[in-house]
Chains A and B, each alone.
Chain A
Amino acid sequence: MSDLADADRGADARSVKTIRTRLIQRYPWLRGYLLMSPTLIVMLAMLVTPIVALVVRSFWTQHVFEIDTTFTLRNYAQIFELSDRITYWFGIPFPLANPVYLILLVKSIAMSLVVTIVVVLVAYPMAYFMAFRVTRHKMLWLILITIPIWTSYLLRVFAWKIMLGFNGVINSSLMNLGIIDAPLEFLLYNPTAVIITLAHAWVAFAILPIYVSLEKIDRSLLEAATDLGDKPWERFWHVTLPLSAPGTIATTLLVFIPTVGDYVTPSLVGGSGGSMIGNSIQLLFGRRNDAPLGSAVSVVMMATITLIVCLFLWFVDYRKIRARGTN
């Protein structure tokens, strides 16, 4: 009896093996996915599942220690609930009962936009310099740009904490030297301080994609433009800038998306006025112990970022730019 069962199992195992071999022979790419399976499992278990759980969680409610799992829109209602009491933020009316979340979201997006624009404006000439002017020691320049990307983000913010503020290096030095009498206000803990710090932290990151797309440009196109009578500035405007658009767009997204949710920088150099949406998410999951509302705020933030990114890509006509880049 047991012999039979064993034999059966053996046959099963063999047929499973032949089926697998046949499948792989017919579809060789299965082997590729097999090799990728550990990574795919990590992504499924730790990216897809958690995000789904986060969305589901945002439709539940928290009672002090227990979680009520009945479906409700209450958390979203709390964020979007209208009220007669109008809160103004920089002249923008927010007729909401709990305006803090949407105000912080709008504020975070505005601050990230400023950071992104500053970063692209500062990084582009540097990338241009590295692609067109640096001929010797290119590797050295690349490594110098790369080091700050990989060394601690926290330490760079810490460094700015020492620089800025009332007793910061900049203010105290300038006052000791007698150049100023009172501390420079824009260096105190406020949104400007957050923007400076964020821009500094992300600018090295921004150079590489722009640099790569500049480096890819066929130099004969530039010569052709000159031969056809373009002045250097016209040549830049007509040839270089459009051809480097894919890298510039990549940089824009690479900086904008993560900075909206940043909370380390605002909590270290932002003071009370410089906090961003990430801070309130952290509070909701931490001290406020309201994970469902925190999840809802996170979902609203993700949705808003996705919407902005899609609008931006549609606006710059990304498909056309990419097609042009590959031709």
Chain B
Amino acid sequence: MRKGPDLLTAYGILFLVFLYAPVLLLPLFSFNDATVAVFPLKGFTLKAYVQMINNPQLLTALKNSLVVAVSVSLVSTTFGLLAAMGVTRYKLPGQGPVMGGIMLPLVVPSIILSVALLVVLRQVFDIPLTLWTVGAGHVLICVPFSMLVLMSRLEGFDRSLEEASSDLGESAWMTFWRVTFPLAMPGIVASLLMSFTISLDEYVMAFFLSGVDQTLPIFLYSQLRFPQRLPMTLALGTTILVISTFIVVFSEILRRRGVQSTKPTGL
């Protein structure tokens, strides 16, 4: 391999700038003392953040989002862990098509998933739209992610550890708690954090499947129509950005520690 800076390295750095620059405008302008987002900057202020924490509508939306995201992450990680154990521990007939079906929510446009769910909920079963329906929709898109993360974690460790445990007389249940669960822990935490962020940030499904209760992205979107509320919206965007970045970095470090040593992994 060549040494030193070259065209490809320059490209890599430029790429990161392109990737991050637009998003970094949100925090930049959120501290700017002006109601429009244009250069040059006017001065530093925290006004927008004060406005943000004094907005009762926003706080309610935040509470709703947190409740939904925590429940979704718990449910989808539990389901994902069980399914990942099923897939990695047993040779399943028809595994290919079944896995393909489970991964489908990752590629189908979310508007299709949303309107299809809307039809079933409202017109077939006549279930009212609440935060429950939003949560259910989010579980559908989070389970495939949880399952992928946990599958790569479970494939990464030695199967004989579990066999040893059962040979030494532990029941299947105790083997799970004392061997499988601790070994899968980094994957479990990564899956919890990841589904939490997906649910916290998801807009399309939340828009179609929520009733009167807003989630944070719905609130944010509704604020975009009012130019005079731009500073507060920027502050809110920045806050969401910072929180989800922390969560993502933490869960990525956990996840890649778990599997990187044995093989290259992508998703």
Q: How far is the CB of A217 from chain B (nearest CB, A)?
A: 10
CB of A179 within 8 A of chain B? Answer: no
**Given A38-B79, A261-B110, A150 and B197 contact (CB-CB distance below 8 Å):** yes
CB of A86 within 8 A of chain B? Answer: no
Chain A's closest residue to B89 (CB) is: A32
| Chain B window 97-127, contacts with chain A (Cβ cutoff 8 Å), 1 for yes, 0 for no | 0100110110111111101111110011000
> Count of A residues near B, CB < 8 Å?
91
Verify B83–A301 contact, CB threshold 8 A: no
Verify B23–A148 contact, CB threshold 8 A: yes
The stretch from A13-21, A128-136, A184-192 touching chain B is: A128-136
Chain A's closest residue to B102 (CB) is: A43
B residues less than 8 Å from A35 (CB atoms): 82-83, 85-86, 89-90
| Chain A window 115-155, contacts with chain B (Cβ cutoff 8 Å), 1 for yes, 0 for no | 00000001001101110111100010111111110111111
A residues less than 8 Å from B245 (CB atoms): 147, 151
Verify B107–A143 contact, CB threshold 8 A: no
| Chain B window 131-145, contacts with chain A (Cβ cutoff 8 Å), 1 for yes, 0 for no | 000001101100100
Which A57-79 residues have C-beta < 8 A from chain B?
Answer: 57, 67
Verify B37–A162 contact, CB threshold 8 A: yes
B residues less than 8 Å from A92 (CB atoms): none
Task: Among B86, B109, B139, B248, find the residue whose CB has the most chain A CB atoms closer than 10 A.
Answer: B109
| Chain A window 197-213, contacts with chain B (Cβ cutoff 8 Å), 1 for yes, 0 for no | 00010011000110110
Which B184-232 residues have C-beta < 8 A from chain A?
Answer: 194, 197-198, 201, 203-204, 208, 217, 220-221, 224
Partner of A208, one of B9, B36, B267: B267
Verify A203–B19 contact, CB threshold 8 A: yes
B residues less than 8 Å from A113 (CB atoms): none
Partner of B8, one of A125, A169, A264: A125
Chain B's closest residue to A38 (CB) is: B79
Interchain Cβ contacts under 8 Å between A and B, 30 examples = A38-B79, A40-B83, A40-B98, A42-B79, A53-B116, A53-B123, A54-B116, A129-B9, A133-B6, A134-B12, A139-B260, A143-B248, A143-B252, A147-B245, A148-B20, A150-B201, A151-B23, A155-B220, A158-B26, A163-B25, A172-B39, A211-B266, A254-B107, A259-B109, A278-B109, A278-B111, A282-B111, A285-B115, A295-B115, A298-B112
B contacts, CB < 8 Å to A:
1, 6, 8-9, 11-12, 15-16, 18-20, 22-23, 25-26, 29, 36-40, 78-80, 82-83, 85-87, 89-93, 98, 101-102, 104-105, 107-113, 115-120, 123-124, 136-137, 139-140, 143, 147, 194, 197-198, 201, 203-204, 208, 217, 220-221, 224, 233, 237, 240-241, 244-245, 248-249, 252-253, 256, 260, 264-267
Nearest 9 Cβ contacts at the A-B interface: A261-B109, A32-B90, A35-B86, A50-B116, A212-B266, A152-B201, A39-B83, A32-B86, A36-B86
A contacts, CB < 8 Å to B:
28-29, 31-36, 38-40, 42-43, 46-51, 53-54, 57, 67, 122, 125-126, 128-130, 132-135, 139, 141-148, 150-156, 158-163, 167, 169, 172-173, 176, 200, 203-204, 208-209, 211-212, 215-216, 253-254, 257-264, 268, 278, 281-282, 285, 291, 294-295, 298, 301-302, 305
